[in-house]
Structure 1
Amino acid sequence: MKTKLTTLIALLATPSLALAHPGHEHHSFSSGLVHPVTGIDHLIMLLAFGLLIGCVAVGNRHKAQLVVAGLASLIVGLFAGQLFGFSMIVEPAIIASLFVVSLGLWHAFSPSTTRINMALAASISMLFFHGYAHGVEATGSISVFAIGMLISATALMVVGSVAGQLLRSKWISVGVASASILLVLAS
């Protein structure tokens, strides 16, 4: 219980990391394309989600379905952010997402398909907040930005998936969690 309270306080005290990198100024195709690569929080999440796919998905069709589900969550978040506006939970949720996907990677090797499916569902759900942050900042139409963002996000997930297939180790989760901790400490 004490650990959960400490984690919650740390997340709530976390600065606005999602706004601390380039790509928020304009919602053009090129900024959408570059943003997932220059935003360390997005980069970690998308690569880690790809790693998770590579560790759990058996066939290419299953991998493609998981990538599409992740992209759908990003897009729904993007348009929800534009529709509903600012929310205090988005920034802490983005940071939490990095640890959720890390925990998902740890459980990817569980013999329980329920546990694996929960890890995938939780990670896909957390991608929503990465999209939401951009929707809040959007001015005018964001569809061109969304296309660029989807291309980069897809590429990062595929790279992560290939790496996940090659590495296939629950210890990848420790690397993702470590990178996430460094990101929080660096801000």
Structure 2
Amino acid sequence: MFKAAITRYSAKFSLALFALVSTPVSAHVGHGPDGVMATSFISGITHPLTGLDHLIMLLGLGFLVSQSKGINRQLRLITIAVFSMVVGVGLGVLSGIVIGVESIIMTSIFVVAFAVWQNKQQQQTNVLSKIFSYGPIALVVFHGWAHGLEAPASQLFSFVPGMMLSAAMLMSIGCVVGRFISAKWLSPALAISGVMLVLVG
């Protein structure tokens, strides 16, 4: 009975993701007037929620984190991911390099989807499981990188803390969801969401 309930909720979650990606919103549409990215603390919080590539990626990382054993390790992974995003912001500001960033961001969703599936198969028993845990987290750098390119450096001090808080919240939600729903549902849902997002974008 419990398994049937989980399966039912899994299907509903997958449908929710499909509905989510059907909305024509991209991660890098500005929150301010005339499409200019607002740089307040509140816009930092809302940006990952309204940017579908960020939203899907961060929830997916939460699913991945949920496969790690121990609350301390899960918190450590979420913290590393958040600070990877901050490092990415800095790299975006300093480098000014735009080529390939959006493609890497989109690819990261599929990498996370594969890692969620593969990590479950490995059952945390070898070196590959660590690669699949930490590799996708490293790609969060590029999600931050895009913001470092877009927003004025002087205003990132108000935007970034909000984005960090929102990212940590989304990964935490994903972690909780991942404890109750099997990777056999979550991984395909992430991958299909990525495909839909590519089509919408």
Q: TM-score, normalised by structure 1?
A: 0.86
Q: Which residue in 1 is equivalent to 2:189?
A: 175
- Give structure 1 stretches of 5+ with no counterpart: 1-16
Residue identity matched to 2:174: G
Matched, 1:29 2:41: yes
Indicate the RMSD between aligned Cα atoms, in angstroms.
1.5
Matched, 1:19 2:28: yes
User: Following the alignment from structure 2 to structure 1, what is the Cα–Cα distance between the partners of residues 62 and 133?
Assistant: 11
Matched, 1:142 2:156: yes
Question: What is the CA deviation profile of residues 30-68 of structure 1, one whole-angstrom value per residue up to 9, with x for unaligned ones?
Answer: 1101000000000000000001111x2111101100000
Task: Give the Å deviation of 1:19.
Answer: 2.5
User: Following the alignment from structure 2 to structure 1, what is the Cα–Cα distance between the partners of residues 126 and 31?
Assistant: 39
Moved more, 36-45 or 114-123: 114-123
Moved more, 109-118 or 129-138: 109-118
Q: Which residue in 2 is equivalent to 1:125?
A: 138
Residue identity (%): 36
Matched, 1:160 2:171: no
Residue identity matched to 1:47: L
**Contact 1:108–1:116 (CA under 8 A) maintained in structure 2:** yes
Q: Which residue in 2 is equivalent to 1:47?
A: 59
Q: TM-score, normalised by structure 2?
A: 0.80
**Contact 1:108–1:170 (CA under 8 A) maintained in structure 2:** no
- Give structure 2 stretches of 5+ with no counterpart: 1-25
Residue identity matched to 2:49: V
Q: Which residue in 2 is equivalent to 1:73?
A: 84
Shift in alpha-carbon separation, 1:47–1:119, aligned structure 2, 3 A: same
Q: How many residues align?
A: 170
**Contact 2:88–2:142 (CA under 8 A) maintained in structure 1:** yes
Q: Which residue in 2 is equivalent to 1:4?
A: none
Larger Rg: 2
